[in-house]
A and B are shown apart, each in its own frame.
Chain A
Amino acid sequence: MLRRHKWAIPYALLAPGVAWLLVFFVVPMWYLAKMSLSEGLFPFFSFGWAWGNFHDAVSSYQVQFVRSVEYAGIATAIALVVSYPLAYWIAFRGGKWKNLFLLLVIAPFFVTYLIRTLAWETILSDNGLVVRTLQHIGILSSDGRLLATSAAVIAGITYNFLPFMVLPLYVSLEQIDGRLIEAAGDLYASKPLAFMRVTLPLSLPGVFAGVLLTFIPAAGDFINAQLLGTPRQYMIGNVIQSEFLSVRDYPTAASLSFVLMAAILVLVLIFARLLGTERLTVSHA
C-alpha cells in the first residue's frame, strides 16, 4: 500500500503546511489586490478596477515613500558596517565558542521589540547620557536633542534589525574554506588584498541576504518612527497602519501596500544587479 503510492508521500507531507500558507498568505494577498482596486467607504467596498487609487496613493504619500527608502537604506548600510566585523570575528576567531557568541548576538532580541524601542527612548532622551555627552563635546548644540529626530528613528531601525544582518553574514563567512585565504597568502597577497580578493567576494551572498532581510522589514516599519520620532519622521508603514486601522480607507491602504512591495522588489533587483556586476569585475580584475 505504502510502496505503491510512494509518489504521493511528499504531497501528503506538504499538504497541511502548504494549505495553511495558501489560505492565510496567498488568498489574503489576492483579497488585498482586489481591495487596492476597489472603491467605497468602510465597510462597503466594491471592486471596480479603480487604478486611480494607486495614483492617489503615490501622489499623496510620496514624501513618506521617499523617507522610508531613505531611512531603511541608511539603516541597512550602517547595520552592514557594524555587523560585518562582528560576524567575521565570530566566524574566524570564535573557535569552539561560536554558538555561544551567536547566542549573545541574538539574545537581546528576546526582549520584546516594543520594550527594546522604549529603552532607546530612555537612552536618547533629552536628559540622557548620550545627549548630554554629545552636547558637552559640541556635536549637539546645548538645546539640541536626539529624540524626535530622523537620527533617532534611523538608530532605532538599525538596532532593531541587526540580527537579520549578522546571521546571514556569519553563515556565509563561516562556510569559507580557510585554505583559500592561506593560498592567497602563499601567492604573496597581503592580508588586506587577500581579504578584498578572496574573503569579501566569497561572503557576498551573505551580504546580499543580510541587506535583503534588513532592508525589507526596515522599509515597512512604523514602530520606530512612532516611538522615537514625530509625524515629521513618519514612514510609509505609519501611513498604511493608520489608513487601515484609524481612517479605515482600505483601498488606499491596500494600494499603498502594493506600491511598497513593488518598490522593494525593484530596489532588491537593482541591488542584486549591482552586486552581481561587482562580483564579476572583482573576479576578472
Chain B
Amino acid sequence: MRFVRRHILSAYAVLALAYLFLPIGVVVAFSFNNPKGRFNYTWEGFTWKNWLNPFGYPGLGGALKVSIEIALLSSLFATILGTLVALALVRYRFRGSATTNLLIFVPMTTPEVVMGASLLTLFVNWKIPQGFGTILIAHIMFNVSYVVVTVRARLVGFDRHLEEAAMDLGANEWVTFWRVTLPLIMPGILAAALLSFALSIDDFVITYFNAGSTITFPLFVWGAARVATPPQINVIGTAIFIIAVTGMLANIVFQNLRLRKGALAA
C-alpha cells in the first residue's frame, strides 16, 4: 500500500512537471516551424532556416540588444545596491530596520501594473523623457528587493566564527570582508544577479509603461503578436531559456563542488 502511494505521488510529480514544460515544448517545436502566413500557430513543416537566421525579422535584433543591455546594467546595479542593504539588515541592529524591511517587501507585493503606472506618473510630473534610461531606472527598482531577499537568505546561515578567526589571525575588517565574507556569500550574490537578469529580460508590464519609443524584446513580441508572430521570436525565446538554465545549472554544480571541497578540507 505504501509502495503504491509513493508511486502515485511520484507519477503526479512527473505529470505536473510535464504540464510545466508543455508550453516550452511548443515554443521550441515552433521555432523549427515553416509557417506559410504571418502567424506561427499551426504546424506547416520542419526547417532549420529560423535558427540559421535568428535576426532575419526586422527590428528583432535591435530589441534583443536593448533587452540584454538593460538586463546586464540593471542586474549589476541592483546586485550592488541589494547586497549592501542585505549586509546592513543581517549584520547590524539599528533604528529603522523594520521600516527598511517593509520598504523591501512592499514592491514585491505590488501589482506590476500599479508600479508601472506610478513610475509613469513620476516621469510625466518631472518631465523626464521616457526611453532607455527610464526602463533602466525601473528595472533596478524592482530588482533590488529580490536581490536583498536572495542575499539575505545566504547571509543568515553564515558562520560568524570564520570572520572572527580571520580577525584573530590579524586581518583587519576590510581584509576580512574581501577575503572571507565576500567569497562565502558569493553564491548568494551570483544567484541574486542571475535572478535579476532573468526578471529584467522577461519584464513586460513595467517596461511597457516606461519605454517611450524604446523597444525591448518583450515589447517587440507584444507589438509583433498583433500583426505577425515570426518563428524567430521562438528561436530567441528558446535561446534565452537555454542560456538561463545553463547558468542556473552551473551555479548549482559550482555550489556543490564548493561544498564537497569544504567537506574534504574539514
Contacts and interface: CB of A to CB of B under 8 A. Distances in A.
A116 interface: yes
B84 A16 contact: yes
Contact of A20 (B10, B42, B81, B234): B81
Interface in B81-107: 81-82, 84-85, 87-89, 91-92, 94, 97, 100, 103-104, 106-107
Interface in B1-44: 5-6, 9-10, 12-13, 16-17, 19-24, 26-27, 30, 41-42
Contacts of A112: 201-202, 204, 217-218, 221, 237, 240
Contact of B23 (A31, A159, A191, A240): A159
A191 to B, nearest CB: 8
A163 B114 CA distance: 22
Contact of A10 (B10, B94, B218): B94
A200 interface: no
A83 B154 CA distance: 25
Nearest to B81: A17
Interface stretch (B50-58, B161-169, B178-186, B245-253): B245-253
Given A10-B92, A25-B118, A90-B13, 10 more contacts: A13-B87, A16-B80, A25-B107, A85-B12, A104-B17, A107-B248, A110-B202, A110-B245, A162-B20, A221-B111
B60 interface: no
Contact of A118 (B6, B113, B148, B221): B221
24 contacts: A10-B94, A14-B100, A18-B103, A20-B141, A21-B104, A22-B103, A24-B140, A27-B122, A85-B12, A85-B13, A86-B13, A89-B10, A103-B252, A104-B20, A107-B245, A111-B24, A112-B237, A116-B24, A125-B41, A159-B20, A219-B111, A220-B112, A237-B111, A244-B120
A127 interface: yes
Given A13-B84, A212-B109, A122 B30 contact: yes
Contacts of B6: 93
A261 interface: yes
Contacts of B109: 212-213, 216
Interface SS of A by simple majority: helix
Contacts of B113: 220-222, 237, 240-241, 257, 260
B88 A24 contact: no
B249 A111 contact: no
Contact of B137 (A24, A83, A85): A24
Given A110-B241, A118-B225, A121-B41, A17 B85 contact: yes
Given A21-B104, A257-B118, A105 B17 contact: yes
Interface in A224-241: 227, 237, 240-241
A254 B178 CA distance: 46
B85 to A, nearest CB: 4
Contacts of B5: 191
A32 B110 CA distance: 13
Interface string A177-207: 0000000000000010000000000000000
Interface string B131-162: 00000011011001100100000000000000
Nearest to A110: B244
B114 to A, nearest CB: 5
A120 B245 CA distance: 21
Contact of B218 (A101, A114, A127): A114
Contacts of A162: 20
B245 A31 contact: no
Contacts of B30: 119, 122
A147 to B, nearest CB: 10
- Choose among B137, B141, B201 the residue with the greatest number of A CB atoms under 10 Å from its CB: B141
Nearest to A33: B118
Interface string B206-226: 001100000001100110010
